[in-house]
């Protein structure tokens, strides 16, 4: 039996987790935060537990998919909402009014319930997508007959997306500041683009699992560990069953009882133990961790 640690991944002295990467994006400590709307400068009561209070990212990280704003879309939505409010007393189909109110209520609930987190911009997508009919219904009918009036906002939105398409730090199309184009990278390099220092360690761990000829792979991962690459890399190499082990409570695996042949360990910090017990069975680390 093997304890296939992230032999590799475990003692990542140079590993920067997604949170640590984000913390490096010119983020300031809580006491350095200042905003002009009168809120407490620490913002702790407005921030999700475990997330750093921080200023928005600067430089090219503003184009990263984790941080990208939607400035022009927001302006367009605000104009549409203002136009609807100005014409509220004018006759309109009941279903249209219900949709407007439901959308606005959803935005308010989102802002009231969810506190700030590093990847909050991803949660905004449904609201922006659902706002498209609102913008369409607020568009003046006389403008709809003009090709120029319709083409202009589409052109502006298209042009505003170019920087995010070209300079997205995880999928940039243009080679810039020593970073390669997304089009010239291999599938594995793309998979690890946000944390390229983990590619080698993960590859060595997967090689060890494949060499063990085990078909039952247990996972012991931290809250910020990368799980998907394990599935993707093993799927490309062999048919295996992958389940989390050493979890709290009484786990019930959908495919029935699970007894790992090999364990992939990556808690993201500290040295992996030389031995590990999983459900009363002992696993031994097959070799010292390999540093990236």
Task: State both tokens at 275.
Answer: 């031995």
Residue 163 shares a structural domain with residue 203 = no
If one compares 174 and 244, the residue with the highest pLDDT of the two is 244
In this structure, is residue 159 part of a structural domain?
yes
Residue 43 shares a structural domain with residue 153 = yes
Q: How confident is the model at residue 55 (pLDDT cuts 50, 70, 90)?
A: low
In this structure, is residue 3 part of a structural domain?
no
Which of residues 167, 183, 209 is at a domain's end?
167
**What is the model's pLDDT at position 12?**
29
pLDDT tens digits, one per residue of 251-286: 788 888 898 999 998 876 667 788 888 888 888 887
In this structure, is residue 27 part of a structural domain?
yes
**What is the model's pLDDT at position 168?**
81
Residue 116 shares a structural domain with residue 254 = no
Residue 23 shares a structural domain with residue 90 = yes
State the Cα–Cα distance between residues 137 and 143, nearest whole angstrom. 12
Closest-CA residue to 229 (of 278, 181, 184, 195): 195
pLDDT tens digits, one per residue of 225-251: 889 999 988 887 777 899 999 888 777
In this structure, is residue 177 part of a structural domain?
no
**CB–CB of 11/273 below 8 Å?**
no
In this structure, is residue 239 part of a structural domain?
yes
First to last CA, the chain: 25
Q: How confident is the model at residue 43 (pLDDT cuts 50, 70, 90)?
A: low
Burial class (CB in 10 A: 0-12, 13-18, 19+), 290: middle
In this structure, is residue 5 part of a structural domain?
no
Q: What is the mean pLDDT of the chain?
A: 75
**CB–CB of 283/2 below 8 Å?**
yes
Residue 39 shares a structural domain with residue 152 = yes
Residue 144 shares a structural domain with residue 212 = no
pLDDT tens digits, one per residue of 63-99: 777 777 788 888 889 999 998 888 888 888 888 889 9
Residue 162 shares a structural domain with residue 201 = no
If one compares 52 and 265, the residue with the highest pLDDT of the two is 265
Per the structure, the count of domains in the chain is 2
Buried b (16+ CB within 10 A) or exposed e, 96-114: eeeebeebeeebeeeeeee
Closest-CA residue to 127 (of 141, 111, 142, 139): 111
By residue range, what is the domain housing residue 219?
Answer: 195-284
Tell whether pTM > 0.75. Answer: no
**CB–CB of 138/80 below 8 Å?**
yes
**What is the model's pLDDT at position 290?**
45
Other residues' Cβ atoms within 10 Å of the Cβ of residue 269: 13
Packing angle of the helix pair 228-237, 199-211 (nearest 10 deg): 50
Q: Is the pLDDT of residue 50 over 90?
A: no
Residue 149 shares a structural domain with residue 202 = no
Residue 88 shares a structural domain with residue 211 = no
Residue 95 shares a structural domain with residue 209 = no
Residue 22 shares a structural domain with residue 163 = yes
Q: Is the pLDDT of residue 213 over 80?
A: yes
Which of residues 167, 184, 217 is at a domain's end?
167
In this structure, is residue 223 part of a structural domain?
yes
Q: How confident is the model at residue 106 (pLDDT cuts 50, 70, 90)?
A: very high
CB within 8 A of 187, min separation 6: which ones? none
CB within 8 A of 209, min separation 6: which ones? 2, 4, 217, 234, 240, 262, 264
């Amino acid at each position: 039996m093997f304890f296939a640690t992230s032999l590799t991944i475990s003692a990542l002295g140079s590993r920067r987790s997604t949170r640590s990467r984000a913390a490096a994006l010119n983020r300031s400590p809580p006491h350095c935060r200042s905003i002009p709307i009168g809120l407490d400068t620490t913002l702790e009561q407005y921030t999700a537990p475990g997330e750093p209070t921080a200023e928005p990212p600067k430089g090219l990280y503003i184009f990263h998919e984790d941080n990208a704003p939607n400035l022009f879309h927001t302006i367009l939505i605000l104009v549409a909402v203002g136009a609807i409010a100005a014409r509220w007393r004018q006759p309109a189909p009941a279903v249209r009014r219900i949709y407007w109110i439901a959308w606005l209520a959803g935005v308010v609930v989102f802002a009231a319930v969810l506190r700030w987190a590093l990847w909050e911009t991803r949660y905004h997508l449904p609201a922006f997508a659902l706002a498209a009919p609102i913008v369409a219904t607020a568009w003046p009918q006389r403008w709809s007959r003009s090709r120029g009036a319709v083409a202009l906002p589409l052109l502006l939105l298209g042009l505003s997306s170019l920087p995010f398409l070209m300079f997205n730090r995880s999928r940039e199309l243009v080679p810039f500041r020593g970073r390669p184009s997304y089009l010239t990278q291999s599938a594995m390099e793309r998979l690890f683009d946000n944390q390229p220092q983990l590619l080698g360690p993960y590859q060595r761990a997967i090689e060890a699992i494949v060499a063990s000829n085990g078909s039952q792979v247990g996972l012991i991962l931290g809250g910020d560990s990368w799980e998907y690459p394990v599935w993707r890399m093993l799927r490309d190499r062999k048919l295996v069953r992958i389940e989390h082990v050493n979890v709290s409570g009484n786990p019930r695996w959908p495919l029935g009882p699970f007894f790992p042949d090999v364990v992939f360990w990556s808690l993201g910090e500290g040295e992996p133990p030389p031995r590990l017990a999983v459900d009363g069975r002992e696993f031994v680390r097959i070799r010292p961790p390999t540093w990236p």
